[in-house]
């Protein structure tokens, strides 16, 4: 603890993509020894089962028919909890710093004078690739791999489409299921062939995991036909053809 910090320490812990065996040893240790665990809907039930019954659990995810607790409220809650001097674990799906708003939580806590520790987790893209047996890069297929948010803002997605539409690149879209039409049409408009292999991956590394192969042009149609809903990733690039039929 630094000389300037107040009592509490908050650890932002990556819970990985779902399979409890994909937790780091450090994450498992901290989950078992926390006084309070603050978690949301991407944290798998197998991981929640590891929280001791004496530990306070605070759920800040979506409840049926309601929205997630606004991020400002989560930030404030973490600061309030940190004041208690207890060991606070903020458990987040995947890695806390990949599309997880962990950066904002860290900033707020540091601004309030607390120490923040970060424990990385396996991000969904890595879990999906391993769980569905396809590489993210491969000498014959892709020399780069880009993790992209497919989150809609005002019914559009503001991205550098010309850069994303480059050949020999794997694209992994997080939070993209509601923006599939835009993703397909923009990538095709910027030069990627409509028959570029693609895949939808639902609940990677969990027992419900589904790997649905398709093409860039047919992404939206396939997602509708196969009733793919979040949490799911969209992968665009020929690496997905290596997945075969294994999942
Ligand atoms: N911090 C997380 C990502 C949070 S954004 C991470 O590093 O993985 C939430 C999005 O992550 C979801 O909409 C979905 O696109 C993706 N996601 C998280 N877990 C997933 C899983 N097990 N399978 C497929 N996609 C997942």
CA–centroid distance, 233 to ligand 1, in Å, is 7
Indicate the pLDDT class of residue 205, thresholds 50, 70 and 90: very high
> 42 CA to middle of ligand 1, Å?
7
As a whole number, the mean pLDDT across the chain is 93
CA of 94 to the centre of ligand 1 (A): 6
Among candidate residues 160, 172, 171, 180, the one with its CA nearest the CA of residue 228: 180
| pLDDT of res. 69 | 81
Q: Using CA atoms, how far apart are residues 115 and 109, in angstroms rounded to an integer?
A: 7
**What pTM was estimated for this model as a whole?**
0.94
Burial class (CB in 10 A: 0-12, 13-18, 19+), 60: middle
Residues recognised as catalytic: 40, 62
Q: DSSP character for 5?
A: -
Helix (H, G, I), strand (E, B) or coil at 87: strand
Q: 26, 117 in Cβ contact below 8 A?
A: no
182 close to 157: Cβ distance less than 8 angstroms: yes
* Cα separation, 25 vs 32, whole angstroms: 11
Average pLDDT over residues 190-198: 98
pLDDT for res 245 = 52
* Percent above pLDDT 70 for the chain: 94
Give me the pLDDT at residue 61, please: 86
Cα separation, 103 vs 106, in Å, equals: 5
Segment 24-46 mean pLDDT? 95
- Report the pLDDT value the prediction gives residue 155, as an integer from 0 to 100: 80
- Ligand 1 proximal residues by C-beta, below 6 Å: 17-18, 42, 92-95, 98-100, 123-124, 127-128, 174-175, 201, 203-206, 230-233
Contacts of 232 by beta carbon, 8 Å cutoff, 6+ apart: 177, 200, 201, 202, 203, 223
Cross-strand pairs, 147: 172
Q: What's the pLDDT score for residue 186? A: 96
Question: CA-to-CA distance for 61 and 94, rounded, in angstroms?
Answer: 15
Task: Please state the length of the chain.
Answer: 247
| 105 CB-near residues (< 8 Å, 6+ apart) | 10, 12, 74, 75, 78, 90, 96, 116
pLDDT of residue 3: 45
């Amino acid at each position: 603890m630094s000389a300037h910090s107040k009592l509490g320490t908050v650890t932002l812990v990556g819970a990985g993509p779902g399979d409890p065996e994909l937790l780091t040893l450090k994450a498992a240790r901290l989950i078992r020894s926390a006084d309070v665990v603050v978690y949301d809907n991407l944290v798998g039930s197998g991981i929640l089962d590891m929280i001791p019954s004496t530990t306070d659990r605070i759920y800040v995810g979506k409840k049926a028919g309601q929205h997630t607790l606004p991020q400002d409220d989560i930030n404030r809650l973490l600061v309030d909890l940190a004041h208690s001097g207890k060991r606070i674990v903020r458990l987040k799906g995947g890695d806390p710093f990949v599309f997880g708003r962990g950066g904002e939580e860290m900033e707020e806590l540091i601004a309030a004078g607390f120490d923040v520790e970060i424990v990385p987790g396996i991000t969904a893209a890595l879990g999906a690739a391993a769980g569905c047996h396809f590489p993210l890069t491969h000498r014959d297929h892709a020399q780069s791999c880009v993790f992209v948010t497919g989150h809609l803002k005002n019914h559009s997605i503001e991205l550098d489409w010309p850069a994303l539409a480059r050949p020999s690149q794997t694209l992994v879209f997080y939070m993209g299921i509601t923006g599939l039409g835009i993703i397909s049409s923009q990538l095709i408009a910027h030069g990627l062939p409509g028959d570029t292999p693609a895949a939808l991956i639902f609940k990677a590394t969990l027992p419900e995991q589904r790997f649905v192969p398709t093409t860039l042009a047919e992404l939206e149609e396939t997602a509708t036909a196969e009733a793919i809903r979040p949490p799911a990733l969209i992968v665009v690039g020929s690496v997905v053809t290596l997945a075969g039929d294994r999942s």
